[in-house]
């Protein structure tokens, strides 16, 4: 491929799920957009690759649960346009102690928003899902809208849709600098994005660079966003041969445990005879230096005993038989950061800059990829995003006065 040059309405930096959805949303509105990726498209060094992610509308926080209504619709619209499926529909199962405050919050949010749900005691849960064995003081919350998202396939879908709608995509283009104040051909101000393959101008720049967003924010505005990348491991465990009770086709749900160990999983789908169960979170890491080796020891120590007890001995491996390293970028309050990036450390007002940022998705953002794409397109093209409680995602919650210091967070 040749050098990168020219002028666009918007440049999107980072081609994971968030950047790919943003490029698609901007392109389908008839605006010129360039999507840049520092590595190959669909690489395995970030947070958007792999066989699957979960999707659900059961949330501890009311605002996320409310946002999922539109997210589900946008996933369906994209599948209809592309002509293939990336969302495998199942129920969602959330389990934990009856005293668990987070699980009780899920129930309260479902009640408040009218999300169809059932609360089962341990015995009822075992009757409903006969491979399940819960402690007597545990409960299960079953909601209707859950499922598996085929992660890499979903990113590829949105990239192909972006191309179909006129976007320009370029990989192996590492961004080296982003500066504002450049004059565009129409005489208005814009930004210049310099890459390892050339420089390009745009009216707006959207940063969706995952674990690398911290570095770009520091270079552009001298702001230290409190983001922590963590090394996570996606793990698959061998189930009893011939047993189909864990299969999505037989009605086994996506699931999450709200007690120790805090984990999540999907029914047997991606790999026949294997069940995906992984720990939430991981160890702090440097995105440029992290190991790509899965942490088998932690999984064996923390998950193996729980799996043996909870699934009635139907898990036949003490360690995962398939595992893959992944990365999540955590914000201190685990809420997203979606905002205009102040141009300097001393200009932290709500004045709109031409540079936007979406990051800190904290391991639960993939399911909202199409919605985040819509939000970023609205912000870039209109200056505001309708119907979204943006106060929860403001960059200013981590900044104090005009000096850019991190403040206390919830």
State how far the alpha carbon of 51 is from the alpha carbons of 141, 154, 193, 348, in Å. Answer: 26, 10, 32, 40
Extended beta strands in 239-313, E state = 254-257, 263-266, 274-279, 283-284
Cα(144)–Cα(132) distance, rounded to whole angstroms? 18
Computed over every residue of the chain, the mean pLDDT equals: 93
Q: What is the pLDDT of residues 177-194, one digit of tens each?
A: 999 999 999 999 999 999
- The fold for domain 53-149+229-330 equals D-Amino Acid Oxidase; Chain A, domain 2 (3.30.9)
pLDDT score recorded for residue 350? 46
Per-residue confidence band for 345, with pLDDT thresholds at 50, 70 and 90: low
Least confident stretch, 114-118, 349-353, 364-368 = 349-353
Query: How many residues does this entry show for the chain?
Result: 410
Residue 405 has pLDDT above 60, yes or no: no
State how far the alpha carbon of 274 is from the alpha carbons of 265, 280, 320, 321, in Å. Answer: 11, 19, 9, 8
Place of tokens 């999507």: 35
The number of beta carbons lying within 10 Å of the beta carbon of residue 393 is 20
Structural tokens at position 198: 């050339």
* SS3 at position 35: strand
Per-residue confidence band for 122, with pLDDT thresholds at 50, 70 and 90: very high
Structural tokens at position 381: 């093209």
Residues 6+ apart with CB under 8 A from 336: 358, 359, 360, 361, 362, 365, 372, 392, 393
pLDDT score recorded for residue 160? 98
DSSP code string of 36-101: E-SS-TT-SSSSS-SS-EE--S--SSHHHHHHHHHHHHHHHHHHHHHTS--EEEEEEEEEEETT-H
Least confident stretch, 90-94, 215-219, 247-251, 294-298 = 294-298
Q: What is the pLDDT of residues 227-285, one digit of tens each?
A: 999 999 999 999 999 999 999 999 999 999 999 999 999 999 999 999 999 999 899 99
Per-residue confidence band for 292, with pLDDT thresholds at 50, 70 and 90: confident
* SS3 at position 179: strand
Residue 287 has pLDDT above 70, yes or no: yes
pLDDT score recorded for residue 344? 64
Element (H, E) at 326: strand 322-330
Per-residue confidence band for 400, with pLDDT thresholds at 50, 70 and 90: low
Per-residue confidence band for 291, with pLDDT thresholds at 50, 70 and 90: confident
Cα(373)–Cα(26) distance, rounded to whole angstroms? 8
Per-residue confidence band for 294, with pLDDT thresholds at 50, 70 and 90: confident
Residue 402 has pLDDT above 50, yes or no: no
With pLDDT > 70 as the criterion, what percentage of the chain qualifies? 95
Q: What is the pTM of this model?
A: 0.95
pLDDT score recorded for residue 293? 87
pLDDT score recorded for residue 317? 92
Beta bridge partners of 198: 195
Averaged pLDDT, 152-180: 97
Nearest to 35 by CA among 67, 8, 58: 8
* H-only helix segments in 86-192: 101-113, 122-128, 151-164
pLDDT score recorded for residue 136? 97
CATH class, range 7-48+152-227+332-398: alpha beta
Domain ranges of the chain: 7-48+152-227+332-398, 53-149+229-330
Extended beta strands in 331-388, E state = 337-340, 355-359
For the chain, the straight-line distance linking the first and the last C-alpha, in angstroms and rounded, comes to 47
Cα(276)–Cα(323) distance, rounded to whole angstroms? 9
Beta bridge partners of 31: none
Element (H, E) at 182: strand 175-183
Averaged pLDDT, 89-117: 98
């Amino acid at each position: 491929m040749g050098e990168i040059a020219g002028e666009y309405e918007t440049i999107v930096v980072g081609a994971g799920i968030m950047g790919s959805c943003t490029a698609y949303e901007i392109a389908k509105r008839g605006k010129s957009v360039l999507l840049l990726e520092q590595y190959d498209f669909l690489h395995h060094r970030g947070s958007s690759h792999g066989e699957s992610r979960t999707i659900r509308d059961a949330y501890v926080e009311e605002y996320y649960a409310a946002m999922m209504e539109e997210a589900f619709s946008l996933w369906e619209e994209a599948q209809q346009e592309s002509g293939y499926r990336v969302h495998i529909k199942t129920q969602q199962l959330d389990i934990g102690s009856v005293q668990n405050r987070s699980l009780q919050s899920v129930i309260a949010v479902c009640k408040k928003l009218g999300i169809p749900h059932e609360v089962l005691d341990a015995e009822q849960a075992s009757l409903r899902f006969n491979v399940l064995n819960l402690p007597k003081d545990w409960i299960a919350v079953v909601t209707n809208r859950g499922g598996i998202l085929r992660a890499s396939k979903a990113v590829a879908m949105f990239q192909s849709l972006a191309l179909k709608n006129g976007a320009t995509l370029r990989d192996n283009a590492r961004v080296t600098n982003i500066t504002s104040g450049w004059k565009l051909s129409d005489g208005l101000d814009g930004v210049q994005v310099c890459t390892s393959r050339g420089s390009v101008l745009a009216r707006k720049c959207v940063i969706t660079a995952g674990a690398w967003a911290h570095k770009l924010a520091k270079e552009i505005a001298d702001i230290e966003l409190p983001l922590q990348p963590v090394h996570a491991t996606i793990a698959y465990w061998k189930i009893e041969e011939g047993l189909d009770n864990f299969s999505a086709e037989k009605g086994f749900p996506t699931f999450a445990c709200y007690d120790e160990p805090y984990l999540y999983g999907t029914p047997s789908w991606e790999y026949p005879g294997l069940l995906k169960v992984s720990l939430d979170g991981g160890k702090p890491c440097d995105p440029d230096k992290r190991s790509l080796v899965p942490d088998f020891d932690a999984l064996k120590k923390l998950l193996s005993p729980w799996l043996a007890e909870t699934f009635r001995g139907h898990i036949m491996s003490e360690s995962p038989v398939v595992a893959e390293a992944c990365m999540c970028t955590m914000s201190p309050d685990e809420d997203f950061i979606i905002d205009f990036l102040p141009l300097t450390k001393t200009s932290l007002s709500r004045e709109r800059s031409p540079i936007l940022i979406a990051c800190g998705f904290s391991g639960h953002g993939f399911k909202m990829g199409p919605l985040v794409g819509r939000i970023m397109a609205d912000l870039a093209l209109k200056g505001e995003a309708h119907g979204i409680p943006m106060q929860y995602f403001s960059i200013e919650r981590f900044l104090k006065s005009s000096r850019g210091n991190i403040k206390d967070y919830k």
